[in-house]
Amino acid sequence: MRQIAFLLVAVTMVAGTVAYVLPASGQTHGEPTQIFVTKIPPGYRDFRLISVAHEEGNLNSLGAVLGNDVAIKAYREGKLPFPDGTIIAALHYSHVPSQENNKVFGDPQSFVPGSPTNVQFMVKDSKKYATTGGWGYAHFDKDGKPGTEAALQTCAPCHAKASRDSVFTQYAP
């Protein structure tokens, strides 16, 4: 379990997501004191490419980082902080050799996405997520199940270490 949590954190740190969000002040009447991004943003698979990512070690991950129109515009204009409405999606897959490619190549050098492992999101809403730098974080496993609270709690403080508005991923031209 501890290892699973670590993996989740690790993916989160680099690729850009997972959600543990405290509500803006003023919450009352028994509302939860933590807000998680619990729904997968619709249409994210049609977002445009920001970049790609490869993680070795225990993660063994190959991923794509996509952005909605607001995100792509901000990236291309170099606009920081990212404006409200920005959604960044990180699609992760296992990093597996391509038997077909390698056979043609004659060398075991080609790696492609294997099974999906998770999808993670960063959603910018400076009011709703004011206590975590304006970002809501989300993680969903391959079956769409959200990450655990314990894992989600690690997202924001780690992302805060990124030098560009809590976002690690840079735009690939």
Identity of the residue numbered 138 = A
Judged by CB under 8 A, which of 105, 131, 144, 149 binds a copy of itself? Answer: 105
- Binding residues for a copy of itself, rule CB under 8 A, total 44
> Which class for 44: exposed (0-12), middle (13-18), buried (19 or more C-beta within 10 A)?
middle
Question: Any contact of residue 74 with a copy of itself (CB under 8 A)?
Answer: no
Question: Any contact of residue 143 with a copy of itself (CB under 8 A)?
Answer: no
Question: Any contact of residue 162 with a copy of itself (CB under 8 A)?
Answer: yes
Question: Any contact of residue 161 with a copy of itself (CB under 8 A)?
Answer: yes
Other C-beta atoms closer than 10 Å to the C-beta of 125 total 16
Question: Any contact of residue 98 with a copy of itself (CB under 8 A)?
Answer: yes
Other C-beta atoms closer than 10 Å to the C-beta of 2 total 7
If you search the block for the tokens 């970002």, which residue do you land on?
135
Question: Any contact of residue 95 with a copy of itself (CB under 8 A)?
Answer: yes
Question: Any contact of residue 137 with a copy of itself (CB under 8 A)?
Answer: no
CA distance 86 to 91: 16
Is there a contact between 11 and 153 (Cβ–Cβ < 8 Å)? no
Question: Any contact of residue 120 with a copy of itself (CB under 8 A)?
Answer: no
3 state DSSP class of 50: strand
Judged by CB under 8 A, which of 4, 99, 104, 149 binds a copy of itself? Answer: 104
Question: Any contact of residue 22 with a copy of itself (CB under 8 A)?
Answer: no
Question: Any contact of residue 116 with a copy of itself (CB under 8 A)?
Answer: yes
For residue 13, give the H/E element and its range: helix 2-15
Q: What are phi and psi of 63, to 5 degrees?
A: -140, 165
Write out the residues near a copy of itself by the rule CB under 8 A: 10, 13-14, 45-49, 51-57, 59, 62-64, 66, 91, 93, 95, 98, 100-101, 104-105, 107, 109-113, 116, 158, 161-163, 168-170, 172-173
